[in-house]
Chain A
């Protein structure tokens, strides 16, 4: 079993849709949580850190549930430019395999 597991996707949604990604982690000692975005053939870039209280950045909301060892990312009002692979990270350096999102006109 992988340390960080994500919905494999792919998610294909129309512009303006709301989409949610889930991620579970197995190491209960993890203290750091992130969502990274990776465009095709590019390096990962930080989308947002995930805090225990939950946090929001514009159209993006991240939630952490330590009891269930679960992280989520919600994207509202999807844009074509949101098309990418979204990587969940638990601990400083353990990545999931990513969920691919395609937003269509």
Chain B
């Protein structure tokens, strides 16, 4: 089974520039998550989609971050404009249709963003 695919793996941009990340979840997984992981911290949920609808975006800095999941499959996360503190690994995860509270989420390898 193919895993969660993310691209690019690495990105270096200057502050105030824009950047976009792409995620392709595991086939058939209805739920998709974007996390931000700053060095030394655990992943922080930015946004959760169920199919193409947003379930939770309470921690997404909406003045600069946006995400979409057109057609309920692939997703993109955009930052515009980037700040130095956005330097982090951006992880995408997906999970299968709900099978109970312990339904596992599978993570992609992440995109490592450095803002200079």
Q: Please tell me if the beta carbons of A96 and B48 are within 8 angstroms of each other in the complex.
A: no
User: What count of chain A residues pass the 8 Å CB interface test?
Assistant: 20
- Choose among B33, B102, B108, B109 the residue that contacts A93 (Cβ–Cβ < 8 A): B33
Q: Please tell me if the beta carbons of A93 and B42 are within 8 angstroms of each other in the complex.
A: no
Interface of chain A: mostly helix, strand, loop or mixed: loop
Chain B 4-55 residues near chain A, CB threshold 8 A: 33, 35, 40-45, 48
| Closest B residue by C-beta to A95 | B42
A34–B105 alpha-carbon span in the complex (Å): 10
| Closest A residue by C-beta to B110 | A43
Q: Please tell me if the beta carbons of A45 and B102 are within 8 angstroms of each other in the complex.
A: no
Chain A 46-104 residues near chain B, CB threshold 8 A: 46, 49, 51, 87, 92-98
Q: Please tell me if the beta carbons of B107 and A43 are within 8 angstroms of each other in the complex.
A: yes
A32–B91 alpha-carbon span in the complex (Å): 20
Q: Please tell me if the beta carbons of B48 and A93 are within 8 angstroms of each other in the complex.
A: yes
Q: Please tell me if the beta carbons of B91 and A94 are within 8 angstroms of each other in the complex.
A: no
A92–B42 alpha-carbon span in the complex (Å): 14
Q: Is A16 an interface residue (CB 8 A)?
A: no
Q: Please tell me if the beta carbons of A95 and B43 are within 8 angstroms of each other in the complex.
A: yes
Q: Please tell me if the beta carbons of B107 and A45 are within 8 angstroms of each other in the complex.
A: yes
Which A residues are in CB contact (< 8 Å) with B103?
32
Chain B 57-106 residues near chain A, CB threshold 8 A: 91, 101-106
Binding site for A on B (CB under 8 A): 33, 35, 40-45, 48, 56, 91, 101-110
A-B contact pairs, 16 of them (CB 8 A): A32-B102, A33-B102, A44-B43, A44-B107, A45-B107, A46-B106, A49-B102, A49-B104, A87-B42, A87-B43, A92-B105, A93-B48, A93-B105, A95-B42, A97-B40, A97-B41
